[in-house]
């Protein structure tokens, strides 16, 4: 079994060293999923903060900002579309 620190170290390395698609997978495919699973199982997602590295911590905060005030993916997509049309 991988220890949490090892898992988060791997995620950090993918974000720091990976190509764009690998970074996106680590951020949206892992960190965002982790936030969603935590929230949907009544676990405070912020409990994961101590395990995040510098870049994954920035990505975590970016995801929080992205989802702030939104309740579903459609809300996020609407805002992205609106921002890109300006």
List per-residue pLDDT tens for the chain, 86 residues long: 567 778 999 999 999 999 999 999 999 999 999 999 998 999 999 999 999 999 999 999 999 998 888 777 787 788 777 766 65
Q: Give the long-range contacts of residues 11-18, CB within 8 A, separation 24 or more.
A: 11/53, 11/56, 12/52, 12/53, 12/54, 12/55, 12/56, 15/53, 15/55, 15/56, 15/59, 16/53, 16/55
Domain limits, the chain: 4-84
């Amino acid at each position: 079994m991988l220890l949490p620190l090892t898992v988060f170290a791997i995620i950090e390395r993918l974000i720091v060293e990976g190509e764009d698609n690998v970074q996106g997978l680590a951020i949206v495919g892992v960190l965002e999923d982790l936030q969603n699973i935590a929230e949907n199982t009544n676990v405070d997602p912020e409990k994961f903060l101590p395990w995040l590295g510098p870049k994954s911590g920035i990505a975590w905060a970016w995801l929080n900002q992205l989802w702030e005030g939104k309740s579903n993916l459609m809300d996020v997509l609407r805002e992205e579309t609106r921002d890109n049309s300006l």
